[in-house]
Structure 1
C-alpha cells in the first residue's frame, strides 16, 4: 500500500498525546522522519522489483504476492499493538527497537538465498515497521504542542510524501543498476542514522502501566494470515479447493475469537468495540477497506503489467507511478481545507467516485501503446480522486467517535487501509499468475473490479455520513 495515503490517517493519532516541551526540536523531527522513511520506502519499492526477484530466486508467479503480503500482514495486524507498546515501554525505546528489528530484517532480505528466507525476513520487517511507525508519531505528539505540533507532524507527513514518491523510481534504478538486493541494503545507513539521532537527542516518554493485549495481537495476526493465505491460494490457482475453504473458515473463526477477546477486555482491548456503536465510523471503516483495497491492487499490478507486458525496465515502471504521488502531495491540502468548510460527506462521496472513473479509464490501458495516452490519464484521475479523500477521511474518523477514542480510531483506520492492500495483493495473484500474453486482459478485469469497489466506497460515504 502507498505510505503517503496512510500517513494522513495515522496523523491524528498524535492528538491524544499529552503536550510537552522538547530540548532538540529539529533533531527530534529528524529522528522520526528517518525512522518512518524506512517503512514508507519499503512499502512501495518492492512493487517494481517483483519480476526481478521472481527470476533470480526461480519463484513461481503465484508466490510473488507473498513478497508484499509477508510485509503487510504483520504491519496491518500489529499497528495498534505497536502503538500501545510504545505507551507501555517508552516511545524512544520502542522506536529504536523497531529500527533495529527492521535493519536486521533488511539484511536478511538482502542475503536471502531462496524465497522462504526472503518471506521470513519480510515478515520481520513488517513487525519492525509496526513498532516504529506509531512510536515515531507518538514522539512528535508528546514533544510538541499547539501549532508547533501541527508543523512538526506536517513536516513528518511531507517527508513521507517525498519517500513515497522517490521509492518506486529509486527502487527501479537500483534493480537495473545494481540488482534487487540493493533496495534492502539501502535501509542500513538510514537505520544507523535514525538510531544515533534518536539515542542522542530524543527524550524518553513516561511509561504507562497498563496491560498489553497480547491475545488480541496474536488472534488478529493469525486471522489475517489464514485469510490472506487462502485468498492468495485461490487467486493463483483460479479455483477453490479444500485448503482454500479451510483457510477461509479458519480465518473467520479466528476473527470471531478476536472479537470475543476484544469484547471481554472492554476498554483495555487493542480495538475497543465501543467504536462500532458509531454508524459513521462503521461506514468509514468499510469505505477505507474498499477504497484502499482497490488502490493497493493498482500499485502492485500496474508496474508488473508494464514490466512483463510492455517490456518496461524497473526504472521506467517506477517513474510511471511518480505522477500519482505528485498529484496527491499537491492537491490533498486543498481538499483538506475544502472539507473543513463544507464537511467530509461530499469530498468522501465525490473523491472515491472520481477514483472509480480513473480505474475505468485503465480498462483501456495497453502496455504496448503510448504511456501518455494509455496509462497516464487513468493514473491522473485516480490520484485526483484519492487526493480529495485522504484529508477528509482523517477529519471524518476523528469526528465519528468520542474524544477518548480518537487515537485508537485513527490508528485502527490506518490498519484497515493496510488490510485492504493486503487483501488486494492476495487477489492480485489471479493476474500475476497468468501468462504474459494474457496479463493485459487480466489487468483490465482487475480495473473493473477496482472501479466497482471505489464507487461503492463513495456510495457508503453518502449513505452513512451526516449532512
Structure 2
C-alpha cells in the first residue's frame, strides 16, 4: 500500500465513521432530547426522519455530483455540511432548530458514505481493493460498538448535546488529511445531474412523511394533512415517471427487471423497515418505561453488533458456496422470532430473562441475512452497474426506515406505553418474517459456474436506525 493509498483509506474510514457513529447513537439520546426540548414521540420521530428524508432522497444524486465535480470535492463538501450541522444540533435551543439541523446533516451524510467508498474503489485494484474494503467495513463496524456506549455515557454523565458534538473531531482530522492528499480529482464527461428528479424525490418522500407524523396532532381531516399526503403521492409518481423517461436517470428502473435485484430490494424494504421500527422503539422503551439508564439501554442491543462482527464473514462465505436464498429466507424469520419474544416483555423487564434472549435471536437472524442480501442484489448485476446498484439499494433501505419511523404514531399512539410497545414489536416481527417469505419465494441461487460480482457492503446492519 502506497503512502497515498494509506491516506485515502484513512480518509474513507473516518468520513464513513462519522455517519455510522451518528446513526448508532441517536436513538439512545432521544428520551433525553425530549425531556429537555419537549415534544414527545412526534419530536423523536422528526429527529430521526428529518435526517433520513434528505439522506434517502439525495443519496442517488451524490453519485452524479461526484462524477461532475469530483469525488474528493463532494466528500469535502459533505464533511463541512455535516460538521456545521452537527454543531448546530449540539447547541440547538429548540426542537424545531434541532430538526432542521438534522435535515441539513442528512444532506452532508448523503455525500459521505457513497463518496468515501467510491474513492477506495477508484484507488485500489484487485486483492488490494478487497482488503481495503474489508478494513473500511471493520473500522466502520467499530462505530456501532463505540456509538451506543459513548452516547449512553454522554447522556447519563454529561449532556445529550455531546452526542452531536463528538462528530467535530473526526471531521476536522479528515479535512486535514484531504488537505495533505493533494490528489487531482477525476471528472466524468457528459454526466448531467437530474435536478428535477432530486426535487420530486424530496417532495415525494417529505410530504407523506410529514402527514404520517403530524396526523396525530392535526387529524386526517385537516387540509394540512390530506393535501400533504395527496401532493406527496403525486410528486412520488412524477419522480417514477421522471426516472423512466430521463436520459440520465438517478435510478435506472430497468435494473428492477433483474429478478434478484428487484426481489432483493422488496426484501430490503421489509427488513430495513423492521430494523428502523424496532431500533427506534426498543431503546426508547427501555429508558422511558423500563427506567433503564441511557448507557444500559445502549449496551442492551450491543450483542447484535458483536454477533455480526464475529459471524458475518463466515456466513458470507457459506452463502457464497450455497447461494443466498436459504440464508435470506431463514435469517429474517429468526430475527422476527427475536422480536416476537419482546412481546412477552413487561413494563420493567429483567434484562437477562426478558431482553437478552430476544436480542441474541435477532442478532443471529440479522447476521444470517445481511451479507447474503447484499451479495444477491449486487451479484445479480454487472460490475459496471454495481455503483448505482449499491446506491439504489442504500436508498431503498433508507426510505423504508423513513416510512416505518413516520408510522410509529399510528402503531403506538401519542405516547409510548407497554401495549403500544407490544404492537410495535409485533409489527416489526411481521415485517421481518415477510422479508424472509419474499426471499424464499423470489430469490434464485446463481447457476453453478456463473460469474459472481463481488459485492460491496451496502451498509452496516444498525445504520438504518
| TM-score normalised by structure 1 residue count | 0.91
- Equivalent in 412, 432, 442 of residue 454 of structure 1: 432
- Equivalent in 264, 274, 278 of residue 294 of structure 1: 274
CA distance in structure 1 between the partners assigned to 2:41 and 2:325 by the alignment: 41
Task: Indicate whether 1:442 and 2:420 are aligned.
Answer: yes
| Structure showing the higher helix proportion among its residues | 1
1:223-244 CA distance string (max 9 Å, x none):
1101211221246778675543
| 4+ residue segments displaced more than 6 Å | 236-240
1:399 is displaced (CA, Å) by 2.7
Structure 1 residues 312 and 24, CA gap change in structure 2 (3 angstroms) = same
CA distance in structure 2 between the partners assigned to 1:36 and 1:249 by the alignment: 36
Whether contact under 8 Å (2:412, 2:423) holds in the other structure is no
Whether contact under 8 Å (1:327, 1:387) holds in the other structure is yes
1:62-81 CA distance string (max 9 Å, x none):
22210011111111111121
Q: How does 1:48-447 map to 2 (within 5 A)?
A: 48-201=28-181, 203-209=183-189, 210-234=191-215, 242-266=223-247, 268-430=248-410, 434-435=414-415, 439-447=417-425
* Aligned Cα root-mean-square deviation (Å): 1.8
Paired position in structure 2 for 1:466: 444
- Structure 2: gaps (5+ residues): 446-465
| TM-score normalised by structure 2 residue count | 0.91
CA distance in structure 2 between the partners assigned to 1:56 and 1:379 by the alignment: 30
Paired position in structure 1 for 2:463: none
1:357-416 CA distance string (max 9 Å, x none):
111111112341311110111111111111011111111112333443222112110111
CA distance in structure 2 between the partners assigned to 1:354 and 1:240 by the alignment: 40
1:306-337 CA distance string (max 9 Å, x none):
11101111111111121111111111111100
Task: Indicate whether 1:37 and 2:9 are aligned.
Answer: no
1:246 is displaced (CA, Å) by 2.7
Whether contact under 8 Å (1:22, 1:144) holds in the other structure is no
Paired position in structure 2 for 1:47: 27
Give the secondary structure class of the aligned counterpart of 2:289.
Answer: helix
Structure 1 residues 202 and 370, CA gap change in structure 2 (3 angstroms) = farther
1:250-283 CA distance string (max 9 Å, x none):
22211111011111214x1100111122232221
CA distance in structure 1 between the partners assigned to 2:387 and 2:10 by the alignment: 23
Q: What count of residue pairs does the alignment treat as equivalent?
A: 444
CA distance in structure 1 between the partners assigned to 2:309 and 2:275 by the alignment: 16
